[in-house]
Structure 1
């Protein structure tokens, strides 16, 4: 495999020879052990599907693309994003980089600018970016406070239909937990989520109404067969313990759907005994956890002129040891909650490995952006290399973990149905018209 990647064979049946695969992403591992959770194999592709995995270098009868031991991954799953907020930073700066600053800036921009045309343009830009990077499944939270959600949800549905088969989209209604106690609002939100095939969600706080709001949320989800996805304890305050309340409520009501909780930052600030008890409840309740390392590193423990003292992430190692499904995701992109990011799952994975110390060994780390989020989002057909599955793959020149994680991998090739897509990223200038005011 030469620098810049030679052209893939034009044949409908060909082989990616001498490839290195993360074993954690392979449904039926069949290859030579390359150490550190990597295997080497030939990948036979026929009519856009993965026909077989053979020993590396053994398939000589087919047109070949020599990977020269470069890595091959499945396409990625980004299970916690905010496509409705993305790319507003040029007109909605965070004055001090803090969480309160982000809240205030987004609220003002939402009230003034989030028309259907505005949300549509930014969502489509974000999806083109994620697609070019190699992501095939995204869950996005959608600000669901009046009067915004009657505008944003139809745009979400439009984008989901437009991108079907390229980037599968799931939507979550994001609203403060106490809003579920407003009967008229709750009815309207639930109807909107059902109409657009979404998931119920919210933001939990340590407020007197927390338990009542959670019970109403779980009731509505149970009544309508909906899953739940929550923003939880995104703060350094160790007294923020709504995660425990969520787990206890799920157990108490016997909820049978999937619960996802994101952030859970305060757990890392609590005494170990308290955190252990909470994680035991989370495991018992069958709750999945997604950490957002880049955004939380940006927001948490930020004080002007003072170096941050902690990383802002939750206890993923301890959770995984309890059998709790854990993942990482992009979260916000170029908005007041996170000024950077590009919906690139490779960047998310690379930074998560560093921030959360998912390495030494790295053998199971690929789960966090592939198989685990795919399973949690009820799409086990995505995010894994499966014989008989679609040849939706990402090809890297990097051979080892050190090579993969040391560079941005901007020369990757993304295959969809065995065919290389145009990986050109959209130009930020395309959005300039949104910021002319």
Structure 2
């Protein structure tokens, strides 16, 4: 494949030659293979969705209060009734929707406190089924807590043994702070035992006294697990005293903890108990970046007990993030694209990411000429290319299992 007249993020316009799924050279002579003219539009690396819930996607339920806690209650009532067939259908539909809009890497959490592990078995099959169009990591997520019910710790271990990629946790949902601390120690030790990554829901609350991120940093350093731990949400950070953030964020940076805000859902769920002014519900991205903390973004939910909207477009997530954190100078807008591209690759530990000679040919051909217009219009890619093959076009079609399919916005 030859992609002509591609405008890279650094402004260069090049011809990109792809051979055997690898970017082999720039500005080669034209070949007889498939030729796509990018017409001087942006050609960028594909997006990462670093925090999502494929098991609950597209569930037609109503959260009347709009709170995190009602969403958890609804999910607890529903999850044991879901069939493998239903979970797979909804999840595959969501993956195709995300791929059509430029996301090729998805880290999904699966609730393993559903004791039959039907949800886990379903997503293990989804991971295999969609591997030609997307790479999926599965985090074994103890939604109800590791120590809230007897046996949840063993379910978490079993989920890792069955093939989950990452160890999850939710310390702020444990009954006591002591159990929350214990859950962090257990999760890191379990991850080390099996050579896995830790990926937790951390301090997802408005409560300024929820400070499990400091505990996560302490034990990440104590157990020599730097760079292998992610903290999702951390919405309590928006309520922490600035002096406390000043003290703790350098330690988080030293521990190499990746922080993953989820702007669409965080701003929807948090601040529900506030009158006015209402808190924005998102960990402060600019401040974390200033301390050298790697920040990547997640979509979190689409049409489920926690969020009634969502299309799977990571540009929507980024658009919300830069508004909430007022990252709106031209330089900040341009560099913000890293939050859904290169910063995600750091969390994923992906070494051959980016449009460089010798890397896997994963790229998006966009309709816009620069990042500012990309975020103004948030259009889907004209072409999504995975390992040198076109897998989606114009946000409407995905090449899946040998044929082009129209992208469904929700399961039929």
TM-score, reference length from structure 1: 0.83
- Per-residue deviation, 1:414: 1.4
What does 1:87-102 correspond to in 2, within 5 Å? 87-88=58-59, 90=60, 92-102=61-71
User: Is 2:154 the counterpart of 1:166?
Assistant: no
Q: Structure 1 residues 68, 109: CA separation in 2 closer, same or farther (over 3 Å shift)? A: same
Change (3 A) 1:122 1:208: same
**Residue equivalent to 2:206:** 236
1:123-171: CA deviation from partner (whole Å, max 9, x where unpaired):
11111111211211111000110325x2111111111111123211111
Partners of 2:302 and 2:311 within 8 A in 1: yes
Partner of residue 342 from structure 1, selected from 306, 311, 315: 311
- Give the structure 1 partner of residue 336 of structure 2: 365
1:217 paired with 2:187, answer: yes
Give the distance between the partners of 1:387 and 1:314, measured in 2 at CA. 36
1:74-115 alpha-carbon deviations (Å, 9 max, x no partner): 111111100001000x2x11112122221122222213x312
Counterpart in the other structure of 2:217: 247
Identify the residue that residue 151 of structure 1 maps to in structure 2.
Answer: 118
Q: Distance in 1 between matches of 2:376 and 2:44?
A: 17
Cα distance in 2 for residues equivalent to 1:132 and 1:269? 36
CA contact (8 A) 1:263 1:292 kept: yes
Q: Would you say 1:299 and 2:269 are equivalent positions?
A: yes
1:15 aligns with 3
Q: State the 1:231 CA deviation.
A: 0.5
Measured on the aligned residues, the alpha-carbon RMSD in Å equals 2.4
Q: Does 1:104 align with 2:73?
A: yes
* 1:6-30, Cα deviation, whole Å (9 max, x unpaired): xxxxxx4x2321x22224xxxxxxx
Matched position secondary structure for 2:254: helix
CA–CA distance in 2 between the matches of 1:203 and 1:146? 15
Contact 2:171 2:179 in 1 (8 A): no
Map residues 15-164 of structure 1 onto 2, 5 A cutoff. Answer: 15-17=3-5, 19-23=6-10, 34=11, 39-54=12-27, 61-62=30-31, 65-88=36-59, 90=60, 92-111=61-80, 113-148=81-116, 150-164=117-131
Is 1:405 the counterpart of 2:372 in the alignment?
no
Displacement after TM superposition at 1:334 (Å):
0.8
Query: Scaled by the length of structure 2, what TM-score is found?
Result: 0.88
Q: State the SS of the aligned residue for 2:247.
A: helix
Query: Max radius of gyration: which structure?
Result: 1
Structure 2 counterpart SS, 1:331: coil
**Counterpart contact for 1:140–1:171, Cα < 8 Å:** yes
Gaps of 5+ in 2: 398-405
Q: Is the 8 A contact 1:177 1:202 kept in 2?
A: no
Comparing 415-424 with 94-103, greater Cα deviation is found at 415-424
**1:181/1:212 contact within 8 Å kept:** no
Structure 1: which 5+ residue stretches go unaligned? 1-11, 24-33, 432-437
Q: Distance in 2 between matches of 1:329 and 1:429?
A: 19
